[in-house]
Each structure stands twice: as structure tokens, then as C-alpha cells.
Amino acid sequence: MRAADLADPARPIEALVADMDRDGFLLFPGLLSADQLAAIRAQLDPVLEATPRGRNEFEGFTTKRVYALLAHAPATEILVEHPLFLALAARLLEANFLLSAHLAIQIFDGETAQTWHFDDGFYRQPLPRPPNGVSAVWCLDEFTPENGATELVPGSHKWGQNRPPNFEVGAVKAVAPAGSLLVFAGNLTHRGGANVGAPPRLAVTTQFCQPWLRQQENMMMGLGAGAKAFSPTVQALIGYSIHPPFLGQVNGQHPLRLIDDGFVGSRRRGAPQPFV
């Protein structure tokens, strides 16, 4: 991938969505400031230190993953509610979409390339189909050709049931500075790259799914009462929200009642929907 291929966040959202529809991904260079990166690293580095390497080929035997990341590194909240990422997801998914996964991935020297896959592949529906999710990979380190930059196959989100022969020839590496945002459709084929002799590569992947699907990570259980500390946007994304008329209800009521003592329901507000 060349610098000329990098997306400009100042372009109109319609143009970005059109590019995303054509290629299946967008790579925005350097969106996060040095201070934002440092605040995340200050929380994440000690957690990574205590985290064992992966348990299988997919996690990566020479890779560390930190799940339930909002619980371990709440400073990563800014990645979940980044306005550009949210705006793109809002164009590709239905209202009330949910946070499906949010985890750190640190790839060490000697890690081999991951299996080609797409993130919403575990929803077993025939292809082609629209994406069931939208994924981000936030580059907390610079992504280089040697340290495991994510590899993507442009246009693969339009494939049918079978991959074309020799599809790897068309793959590109998301080479980008620290603080960059890679966004891609949940049905785009990609993989974590190999780390061949480079320092560890740290990223956070933040993945949204349609509001009527089961989230990959059980966010509500992962965070427990800790969810109170997050913004209303993040609370809604983790599951303290209703997809009307009643997906997400708890005992016939809005789930926010569980963590917000001041929650005012629809009847009191005179609003028409049930369960809010």
C-alpha cells in the first residue's frame, strides 16, 4: 500500500463510504495524538506484561491478546467512540449496532502470518452478503512490512462462497504510522501479518456488529458494574441499549436501569416505545 492510498478523514462521509464499498477498507494515517497513545500504553503495558501468549494458531503462539479491554485499559474508550469510526459504522450497520469485540493484539518476533479469515465469518450465512459487522484495527505502534502489519485482500468482501484461486497475490499490507486507523467490512478477508525480526507490534481491534446479533465478547459480563464509568455512548454500545421494540430488555425494562439509578423510563417521559 502506498501513501497515496491512505484515506483523508476530511473527505465527505459519502465519498469515504463509496471507497469502502469498492475496496472493503479504509486506512487513515495518524489519527491519534502522542498523548492519547501514551495514556493508552500507560494502562496497557503492565497488563500485557502479565499476559501469556496465545493458546492456538488463530490467537498466535507468539502473540499476546488482552480481551475485555475496557476493563483492563479504560483509556481505550476513545477508540470505541471515535467519531470517524462511529460515523462509518453508522453508514454500514443498522442503528443501535453493538460493540462485538475490543481487544489488544501484540505480535512478537517469530510470529507467523495468521490464517486468512473475515471477522463476521462465525455468523454462518451464505456469501455474498452484506457485512454483519465493521472492524477497526488501531495501530498503537507503527505498522511496518516486517512487524506484522495487517494484510487485506481488497474487494474480497464481495466474494461468494469460494475464494478465487491465487487471491493472495492481490493482498496489501496496512503499513502506517502509530495512531492510524484501519477500518474494514466484517466480511473482508484479512489476517495479522508475520513479525520477521522486528520489535513487537501493538494494535487494538474494535469490532461492531448488527444490533440483532450476539456479540463475540460478552461485554456486559466482562465489565460488570464497571460499565458505570463509561460514557452513555459506550454504555449503549456494550449492550445497555434497546434495539426496538425489545431486543436487549431486562425483565421487561431498559437495561440502563441496572447501572443508572437516575434512569427515567419512557412512560415517565411520555415517549411511545416500550422498554425504555
Q: Interface residues with ligand AKG (CB under 6 A)?
A: 105, 114, 119, 137, 150, 190-192, 203, 205
CA 229 – CA 219 distance, rounded (Å): 14
Q: Which of 107, 259 has the CB closer to ligand AKG?
A: 107
Q: How many CB atoms lie within 10 A of CB 58?
A: 13
Shortest Cβ 43–ligand AKG spacing (Å): 19
User: What DSSP character marks residue 169?
Assistant: G
C-alpha cell at 138: 488501531
**Is 275 in contact with 245 (CB distance < 8 Å)?**
yes
CA 184 – CA 100 distance, rounded (Å): 14
Q: Which of 157, 191 has the CB closer to ligand AKG?
A: 191
Shortest Cβ 203–ligand AKG spacing (Å): 5
Shortest Cβ 15–ligand AKG spacing (Å): 26
Handedness of CA 196, 198, 204, 206 (dihedral sign): negative
Q: Which of 64, 82 has the CB closer to ligand AKG?
A: 64
Q: Which of 202, 256 has the CB closer to ligand AKG?
A: 202
The single-letter code of the amino acid at 36 is: Q
Q: Which of 102, 191 has the CB closer to ligand AKG?
A: 191
Q: Which residue has the cell 459504522?
A: 89
Shortest Cβ 266–ligand AKG spacing (Å): 38
The H-assigned helical ranges of the chain are: 13-23, 34-49, 69-72, 77-80, 83-92, 219-223, 232-238, 266-269
Shortest Cβ 107–ligand AKG spacing (Å): 6
Q: Which residue has the cell 503499513?
A: 175
Handedness of CA 244, 246, 247, 248 (dihedral sign): positive
Shortest Cβ 95–ligand AKG spacing (Å): 25
Q: Which of 37, 194 has the CB closer to ligand AKG?
A: 194
C-alpha cell at 226: 464497571
CA 202 – CA 69 distance, rounded (Å): 13
Q: Which of 131, 192 has the CB closer to ligand AKG?
A: 192
CA angle, corner 145, sides to 175 and 11, nearest 5?
10
Q: Which of 150, 210 has the CB closer to ligand AKG?
A: 150
What are the Cα distances from residue 270, in Å, to 245, 249, 273?
A: 16, 19, 9
Shortest Cβ 64–ligand AKG spacing (Å): 11
Shortest Cβ 35–ligand AKG spacing (Å): 24
